[in-house]
Amino acid sequence: MKKNLVVLTGAGISAESGLKTFRDSNGLWNGYNIEDVATPRAWKKNKQLVLDFYNLRRRDVLKAEPNAAHFGLAELEKDFDVHIITQNIDDLHERAGSTNVLHLHGEIFKMRSELDEALIYEIRKDILLGDVAKDGAQLRPHIVWFEEPVPMIERAAEIAYTADIFVVIGTSLVVYPAAGLISYAPRAVPKFIIDKHIPYSSLYNLVAIEKPATEGIQALIPLLRALK
C-alpha cells in the first residue's frame, strides 16, 4: 500500500504562477484593503466593490498556469496516496493533475447564495449585482472571508491525522486555523516545510527547506521517495 502523503499549501505556491499574495503585497491585494473586500462587514457595506475585487481575481486565475511545484505534487501520486489541503482559492492543483484537493478557504470558480451556504454554483465569468440564487438571494463568491468560520477545517484535521508524511508548501504557518493542521499529524511522522521565510519551529521531526516552492519541490521529491 502507498503511504499517505498529506500536503498543506498556501499562497506561496501560486505566487510563482503570477498570483499575488496578501503577505507579499503589504496587506493589499491589487490595491484593495482586505477589510474593504474580504470580510462580511465589507459585503454588507459595499457588495459591488467586493464583487469587483473577486471578479478581478477570477480573471487573474483564468490567465494563470500551474507551475513546477503544482506539477511536482501531481507527479507524486505515482508513489503516494496524496491528499492536498490548500488555503488557495485557485484551481491550479487540479489543472496540474492532482486528484484529491480540499479547499479550506473556498473556490474562486464557485459562487453561492448569501443566505444559504448549500446553494453553490459554478462560475467562470463575472458575478453581477442582481445575480440571484434559487432562493432569490444575491450570489456571492464561494470564499471563506476573514472573520468567518472555516467549514472544512474539521475534515482537514481528520486528513492530517492520517498522515504518514506531512508536507507544508508556500505558507509560513502563521495564519490560523490552517497553521494548526500540522499539529494534528502524528508526532513521529516525517514533516517538511518549504517556504521562502520559515519561522522557528519546535515541531518534532521537521525538515525546513527555505526556498520558493518551485525550487523546494525539487529538493523535496528525492527526500520523499526515500521514505516510500
Residues 109-160: tens digit of each pLDDT = 999 999 999 999 999 999 999 999 999 999 999 999 999 999 999 999 999 9
% of residues, the chain, pLDDT over 90: 81
Assigned C-alpha cell, 37: 473586500
Pick the last residue of a domain from 119, 143, 167: 143
pLDDT for the residue 177: 75
Answer yes or no: do 131 and 222 share one domain: no
The catalytic residue among 70, 83, 103, 105 is 105
Closest CA relative to residue 163, chosen from 59, 1, 7? 7
Q: Count structural domains, the chain.
A: 2
Answer yes or no: do 183 and 131 share one domain: no
Answer yes or no: do 185 and 224 share one domain: yes
Looking at per-residue confidence, does 203 or 81 come out higher? Answer: 81
On the CB side of 178, how many CA atoms lie within 13 Å of its CA? 26
Q: By residue range, what is the domain housing residue 76?
A: 1-19+67-105+150-228
- Compute the average pLDDT of residues 37-52: 96
- Compute the average pLDDT of residues 56-73: 97
Answer yes or no: do 72 and 181 share one domain: yes
Answer yes or no: do 101 and 85 share one domain: yes
pTM of the model: 0.93
- Is 93 designated active site? no
Answer yes or no: do 119 and 209 share one domain: no
Q: What CA–CA distance (Å, rounded) separates 26 from 191?
A: 30
pLDDT tens, position by position, 153-196: 999 999 999 999 999 999 877 666 777 899 899 999 999 999 88
Answer yes or no: do 167 and 219 share one domain: yes
**Residue 45: pLDDT over 80:** yes
At 53, is the secondary structure helix, strand, or coil? helix
Answer yes or no: do 125 and 220 share one domain: no
Answer yes or no: do 119 and 204 share one domain: no
Q: What CA–CA distance (Å, rounded) separates 216 from 196?
A: 9
pLDDT for the residue 194: 95
Assigned C-alpha cell, 126: 463575472
**Residue 28: pLDDT over 70:** no
Answer yes or no: do 161 and 57 share one domain: no
Assigned C-alpha cell, 41: 462587514
Closest CA relative to residue 14, chosen from 213, 178, 196? 213
Q: What is the CATH number of the domain that holds 173?
A: 3.40.50.1220
